[in-house]
Structure 1
Amino acid sequence: MRIVLGVGGGIAAYKVASLLRLFTEAGHHVTVIPTEAATRFVGTATWEALSGNPVSNSVFDDVHQVNHVRLGHEAELVVIAPATADLLAKAATGQAGDLLTNTLLMAHGPVLFAPAMHTEMWQHAATRANVETLRSRGVAVLEPATGRLTGSDSGPGRLPEPEVIFDAAMALVEGQSDYQLPLAGKTVTISAGGTREPLDPVRFLGNRSSGKQGVALAVAARNAGATVRLLAAHMEVPPPAGVEVVQVETALQLREAALAAAADSDVVIMSAAVADFRPAEVSSTKIKKRDDTADPVITLVRNPDILHELVERRNSSGSAEGEQLIVGFAAETGDSHGDVLAYAEAKLQRKGCDLLVVNHVGADKVFGQDTNSVVILARSGSEPQEASGTKTQVSAAIISRIGFELNHVSPRT
């Protein structure tokens, strides 16, 4: 694939060298076009060495090849990183003062901007208007990461990690030029993994959850343009790059983190396997197994229903319908009294969430596996939606459905 990689004049330009490496190692032909200001941070020699192609930012170099027209026409993907406030403004207003902005005007394929700038610049009304203008034209604009900026400041405006930009770019190409980031500008909180309820300093009550599905959801939401907050209980897989991680262990800790995170979230996805019960008493010392004592009796008490509480808080806050979407997960088994879907439908009514993702679990199903098969139920009563495949594929279907619910457009197939 032919890629044009435009590099803006920001300190984060040095991180784009790693993005270029990801593209070239994946076998893509990359032409780098830095702005004049970008060459103050990273010189053209670096871009030429890593891309294997000549680098220029002038419309007057190789005039016989008409580069200011040719590069945009030939590009199957254009990625701008870092996309500074200046570059966003020029792109939104159709300026063509150098080779990069000319190329943007000539681009026929998908275009992805990865912004990076100071928080106040990103939040300024002019920048926000420019971003909305670009998105309205079908251009993909990622949300910047939140973290340490130049100097001592922290906040939204940090360049997303190269792996995040690479994944988003590949997702964009899969949908071609009509692809939209369905969660652009949204904040999504996702719980993942399994909670652990301590019995003593050594032992705990836990479950088989690996966190794979929750992590896959975080990646899918991130690639869909969202700012993602991952509430991570015990997981057997590392959290993905480009998301905020809040570590929790018990159901009570998860409840506290979820209620706090939901306050500024557009979407809350409770995919963690939360313990229904916890020991009524936790021993401060290891419970000993001794011949002269009776077997211990462990009394359990109910944990709070976090999902139901999230729904109640949202509904009692006076939020307008659709302002926050809450998604629950139900790991169910059937029995003589009903099948999996019957139990799930009853749970959906009890919980009151907008969507309920249901899977049939067992010792060799779902937990710890790389594949999954789910049914998505909606409180609105719409037809159940099935999704199966790898947990990455299932997550893509779930995030697409969430985008449909938020934007009232048909989910991608």
Structure 2
Amino acid sequence: MSETNKIIPQEIIRLKRNGQVLNEQAIKGFVCGLVDGTFSDSQVGAMAMAIYQNGMSVDERVNFTKAMMHSGDVISWQGFDGPIVDKHSTGGVGDKVSFMLAAIVAACGGYVPMISGRGLGHTGGTADKLESIAGFNVQPSISEFKRIVKDVGVAIISQTDNLAPADKRLYSIRDVTATVESIPLITASILSKKLAAGLDALVMDVKVGNGAMMDNLTDARALADSIVNVANGAGVKTQAIITDMNQVLGTSAGNAIEMAETVKYLTGKQREPRLHKVVQALATAMLVNTNLASGEKEAHEKIDKVLRSGLAAEVFDRMIAALGGPKNFIEKPWDSMVKANVIMEVRASQHGYLAQMDTRAVGMSVVGLGGGRTAPTQQVDHTVGFDRILPLGVQVNRGEVIARVHARDEDSANRAIEQFNNALSYSEEYPELPPVIYK
């Protein structure tokens, strides 16, 4: 933006504070100010609060997202002979869907350049889980990233400094100004990074429930609609699927133990039904939206074929090796991951059906064990967490094993056992369970 076209920061803030619709020039002025520092931290915080309070129209959100996307590198995939497609989840507990999904879609002929996040708060981070594997590099150069995607079909890495740098600064300020839960700001934050990855298509997994960012269906639908409208407005074919996060997804929550569950899923040794339903729904959308499948029936057949043949597992194994991990991760996952010092059983505190889970509390218990972070610079213990978690709706007797905790020592294990039990409630009758897929 030229000096003559620059708008004074407080004028942009005043317009949005007063509920005005910002034009493209004003939005670009704000995003430029995020990157070059002409907006101070206090001015960025004031602007974030003005957006939080007054919202943004669809056109504003599209312009805001595109400006954030173009604040740094935008990756080009020229010369690739298939669709560039990705998925993003709004986050939850035990959400290891990205690993299975990316391998399946790549095995079916798609290219999946997945730029993932780290855990913060009660939700686990995809990049942290991959770093459980000895040697795995989540931050290759962009040229190396593109080479691996072309050779293998998939690469899962963490965000680089040059992708959507405006979002990186804005997010850190939103985090300390109570403006995180703004749908326009969430939309721009997610999509600026995804669109900078140069996608042809995107599928959003919007989680809803007591372990999700959106704890009710109304807010989840509003976020899903916002993301779909803005992404399509920015030229990327996008679909959102709302899925349940009222219990841990799969049978594990933690870093290395979720990678171990991923291997069991891809090799067919264990496919927890709810997890498989979510993976299948998202993979189907990715295949249909990129014309890799003509409809749901063909998509399901392709998904089943690459899982049964072992091709999806082989693709995942090749990706791990290409990014610095071992060459035989699928065959021997624990040869390159460290196990926890202490593994103890969690036993049911009473008879009855497992009726409800405070999923956020389980996630925070993993954080308390050291498996997550409460500050961005905090180190993560990849060994800790829970596995063999029974799903809601199972009938148990008091004293039966309902999960296992992996911990550094017995004291932290005992605390986590108490926290896990406190997060569960029981019923005498079979409970009414939420659907796995809402919309």
TM-score strictly above 0.5: no
* The structure with more radius of gyration: 1
Instruction: Give TM-score scaled by structure 2 length.
Output: 0.24
Q: Give the structure with the larger strand fraction.
A: 1
- What TM-score, normalized by structure 1, do the two folds share? 0.25
Q: Which has the higher contact order (CA 8 A, sep 6+)?
A: 2
